[in-house]
Copies of this chain bind each other. A is one copy, B any other.
Amino acid sequence: MKTKSFSNMQCSIARTLEHVGSWWSLLIIRDAMMGARRFKHFQKSLGIAKNTLTSRLNELVEGRIMVRVPAADGSKYEEYQLTERGRELAPVIIALSQWGDKWVAHEDGPSTIITDKDSGERLPRVWPRRESGERMALSEVGMRRNTKAPPIDWTGKEEKIK
């Protein structure tokens, strides 16, 4: 059987995963955010097989998350660069990283630290907030179907599924 495609699902999460749902995709994007641009950078940094890297890069280019641009140093090869679309995945990357820092940290600490570039300080956690910037409790966050269902308590105390 063919693996189900998420692209025709209405859910935005599924539709996003259609683009970055493969294991390597987000790690490639992370490396690109850290400044990697060349095939070799990704390959060495990630320890990924070349053909796999080729496939993932092609997918990301096709999904317009990255673009191929002429090499800045005049090399005859091209480089890979994040588009705005790709750069806006930063909240996803940061959230994944911070969750890992807290819940499944490596004994030697994290390899990558996300910072305020000016101060060099570690960023506070990416977290749901109000327009005012005030941090919310998760119990104050609701999800509802686009139809008309009432917001659902996602602290998990209730049960209200159709």
Contact = CB atoms under 8 A, between A and B. Distances in A.
A161 B36 contact: yes
B126 A96 contact: no
Contact of A95 (B34, B82, B116, B126): B126
A98 B30 CA distance: 19
B17 A112 contact: no
B144 A115 contact: yes
A74 interface: no
A126 B123 contact: no
Interface in A140-162: 140-146, 151-162
Contacts of A103: 16, 85, 88
**How extensive is the interface on chain A, given as a class?**
35 or more
A78 interface: no
B161 A81 contact: yes
A16 to B, nearest CB: 4
Given A115-B141, A141-B114, A145-B112, A128 B90 contact: yes
- Going nearest first, the 6 A-B pairs with the smallest beta carbon separation are A133-B133, A12-B100, A117-B142, A16-B100, A10-B111, A91-B95
27 contacts: A3-B23, A10-B106, A10-B108, A11-B30, A12-B112, A15-B104, A16-B99, A18-B104, A30-B143, A35-B153, A35-B159, A35-B160, A37-B161, A45-B161, A72-B158, A90-B154, A91-B125, A92-B95, A92-B96, A111-B145, A114-B128, A114-B143, A115-B142, A116-B142, A118-B140, A124-B131, A129-B129
